[in-house]
Amino acid sequence: MTNNFGPLSGLKVLDIGTTIAGPMTATFLAEFGAEVIKIEHPEKGDDLRSWPPMKNDTSLWWKMTARNKKLITLNLKKEEGQSIFKEMIKDTDVVIENFRPGTLEKWNLGYDVLSKINPGLVLLRISGYGQDGPYSKKPGYGTIAEGISGIPSFTGFPDSPPTLSSFPLADVVTSLFGTSSIMYAIYNKEHKGNGLGEVIDLSLYEAMFRLVDPLVIGYDQLGVVKTRNGNRMEEAAPRNTYQTIDDYWVTISASSDATFKRLSIAIEKPELIYDERFVKNPERVKNVEQLDTIIENWISKRKLDDIMDVFDYHGVVAGPINDIKMIFENEHFKFRENIITVMDNTIGKAKVQNVVPKFSRAPGKVSHLGLEKGANNKDVFCTDLGISEEKYKYLIKNKII
């Protein structure tokens, strides 16, 4: 049974990836109506099932990343499992994998094989370093990709070590690139490519590296090596975080002349607008220490709510740094329905992030959270593929499914 909601209703996707980058790409598609069938190893399952936090011996990471998907088990290392997979390929639009390069070929499931069965198939291949090149055969996780992308070299404070994000940033960023690249390929297939599919070679490090536009051209043209500068930016000022008297933090970005003018008036320092040290953004960057001290002195004497009342009144580009407790209580998050409640058969009622972005005509939705391993085996293998009950039992006994 296919989904009947969202702009991707009718799109069939096989998610054979593991952990985050590949599976999360499939999750984004499933949230907008694609029929996503998640394939796991019959015994091991996806490694993400063991990631904390856990409730009732169930990973809450898993509940999120596997939401909206049909779940089946299939051993792609065995010939019979490969034969079933090839049968499934016949009416599949997209396959998503994030194994080490060469793995599908080792299983006799390379694109040369699959495209003969289905010439319109789009295959997204996510890896640490890409499908070719000197590093291609190396194992690659998001943490390592984040490091080699160069981003941690300028993330953190000058007197501290390079700072990695405390969640799998590279995997999530790559999944967004993966989602968009699939849509590009589908559009090309249907409108320009004569119905032919595509192999998409997407690496974790390249997705991260693509985020930092000025890094390459700045070094090439001017020899600029970006360094750690705390919460400031070398390109704009003021831009920082400031602690309130009640121990909250406020972030401010006021690099344009108009936003700086509003900030100056809000903190009762209108004379800053005409101060030669701060009159334009390049001057503000040069004199950021003095400027930050002035802002800190004003903020450190006031409570967060009072500060935000003043800033909102004057239209200052600023906001609190929320922790998750603050987010749960935030009126804007509530109004926008950024957090919704979903019933789940293992963990009960659960609050989760809503689908992003909002569509006016064909919105996405969360139909269910991640299910138990093999929850849809019988539906997919027996109902969809027409495998007999006898063959189904044989496949289970022989650990094919």
70-73 and 54-55 beta bridge pairing = unpaired
Using CA atoms, how far apart are residues 37 and 30, in angstroms rounded to an integer?
Answer: 9
Q: Name residue 350's beta-bridge partners.
A: 342
- Token pair, residue 160, equals 């501290």
171 as an active site residue: the answer is yes
The burial of 299, by beta-carbon neighbours within 10 Å (0-12 exposed, 13-18 middle, 19 or more buried), is given as buried
CB atoms within 10 A of CB 332: 9
- Token pair, residue 120, equals 């319109």
The dihedrals phi and psi of 76, each to the nearest 5 degrees, come to -80, -5
- Token pair, residue 23, equals 């599976």
Using CA atoms, how far apart are residues 394 and 389, in angstroms rounded to an integer?
Answer: 9
Residue written as tokens 């319109």? Answer: 120
Which residue in 171, 201, 306, 344 is the catalytic one?
171
Tell me how far the alpha carbon of residue 219 is from its chain's centroid.
28
Cβ(6)–Cβ(365) below 8 Å = yes
Which amino acid is located at 180 in the chain?
S
Backbone angle region of 352, left / alpha / beta, with phi > 0 → left and psi within -120 to 50 → alpha: beta
Residues with active-site annotation: 171
